[in-house]
Amino acid sequence: MTINVAPLLNVGVPTVPRKSVSTYVVTGCAGFIGSHLCEALLDRGDDVIGIDAFTDYYPRELKEANLQHLTGRPGFVFIEEDLVRAPIEALATGTNGIFHLAAQPGVRGSWGATFQVYAHDNLLASQHVFEAATGAGVRVVFASSSSIYGNAEGYPTTEDTPPSPVSPYGVTKLCCEHLAGAYAESKDLDYIALRYFTVYGPRQRPDMALCRIATALADGGRFEVYGSGEQSRDVTYVEDAVRATIATMEAAPSGAVYNVGGGSETSLREIIQIAESLTGRSLDAHYGSPAVGDVRRTAADTSRIYADVGWSPMTSLEDGIASQLAWVMSRDVSSRSPAYSG
Ligand code: NAD
Ligand code: UGA
């Protein structure tokens, strides 16, 4: 199938006619996880209509570098537009579904005046996507977050655990899940919500811990530890997260909510130790106050997604960290310095 989006957008978009397996819309395609997802879809022979607004949370050059893995590939069309304005329903009509990954991510920066950005990029944008998916009659797989659990009642945390977010970001993600549920109940939206647990790997966002650790090890800079370093995360390698995302689009029952976790709860101190031993370098770590809105630990029970679609994580923590370190070390110094200080 070849979708000609040019008339919808009044732009000259070259579409190379070819026999694709499926066609998907991917929001947030220039981001960390979204760019990997698009690559995996194109590798399978699917066509992808990618949308991204290049929001300024981190430098545009990093997102353009992510996109370089996609532009020019047969079957990929890129649209630079804010989801709140984009003609998503028209773009999605006739496709096999929408992967909705675009968002304002980041837990710690979601307080104060910045919440306006979270309200726009998470709440308003997702409402527009859910409305469009309903109109187009296509499935939407929505990128939710482990942050909806807050400091969860039980570990490993099942999807039935009462949500109790402790950051405004987590509240917006939970609100989006409820919004999708309301569209499903009242307007037959076909949706899946995936609660990703701290995703890492090449192209990870520059505000995230492992990207900063790897950059500090590469360049000899400092790493600020928020708190004692005893906080732990069930970290998920990006290729595993992408496999779960595609599998649920294809095979999960409508309305399902799944944890997507890497299966190895690890403290920040342990992550630092692994990165140090893989590089043979010592991290200049400075310990300060815990970040407001940070959870103490996360651990995903992934038995539901395994039972429904057969997904389980496949990448070991050491292999995943080694892969991210290799990516950071391979970039030139100017492009790997995190400009974001939140
Ligand atoms: P990212 O910031 O790298 O990617 C998000 C992309 O969405 C960005 O390129 C941004 O420009 C785009 N975007 C934001 N608002 C937009 C709008 N209104 N219109 C169009 N484009 C817009 O983030 P990521 O780490 O790849 O996360 C992807 C998704 O997964 C997000 O929804 C995030 O909340 C969720 N998530 C991520 C993690 C993680 O560990 N990275 C964990 C849990 C959930
Ligand atoms: C990550 C993503 O950033 C969120 O977008 C996502 O929603 C969330 O995972 C999730 O799983 O739902 P987080 O777990 O906080 O959030 O991941 P990191 O940003 O990598 O932080 C991990 C830990 O390292 C946190 O305790 C954080 O406070 C700490 N950290 C981070 C530091 O000590 N120093 C830093 O410079 C950065």
Domain 21-200+237-263+299-314 top-level CATH class:
alpha beta
Domain boundaries, the chain: 21-200+237-263+299-314
CA dihedral 259, 268, 170, 158 (to 10 degrees): 30
d(CA 283, CA 218): 10
Verify whether ligand 1 is closer than 6 Å to residue 80 (CB atom): no
Interval between CA 15 and ligand 2 midpoint (Å): 38
Can 183 be counted among the known catalytic residues? no
Q: Quick one: average pLDDT of 8-16? A: 46
pLDDT band for 223, please (50, 70, 90 cuts): very high
pLDDT band for 184, please (50, 70, 90 cuts): very high
Interval between CA 91 and ligand 2 midpoint (Å): 33
Give the position of tokens 């395609």: 29
pLDDT of residue 241: 99
The region of weakest confidence among 10-19, 48-57, 110-119 is 10-19
Q: Quick one: average pLDDT of 228-234? A: 98
pLDDT band for 264, please (50, 70, 90 cuts): confident
Verify whether ligand 2 is closer than 6 Å to residue 231 (CB atom): yes
Interval between CA 230 and ligand 2 midpoint (Å): 13
CA dihedral 115, 271, 316, 197 (to 10 degrees): -20
Strand partners, 82: none
pLDDT of residue 332: 73
Tokens standing for residue 43: 């590798």
Strand partners, 50: 26, 78
Task: List Cβ neighbours of 142 (8 Å cut-off, separation of 6 or more).
Answer: 100, 126, 129, 176, 177, 180, 191, 192, 193, 194
Verify whether ligand 1 is closer than 6 Å to residue 176 (CB atom): no
Whose Cα sits closest to atom 16 in ligand 2? 198
3-state secondary structure of 111: coil
- Which residue in the list 57, 58, 149, 169 is annotated as catalytic? 169
Residue 158's Cβ-count burial label (10 Å; 0-12, 13-18, 19+) is: middle
Q: Quick one: average pLDDT of 87-114? A: 98
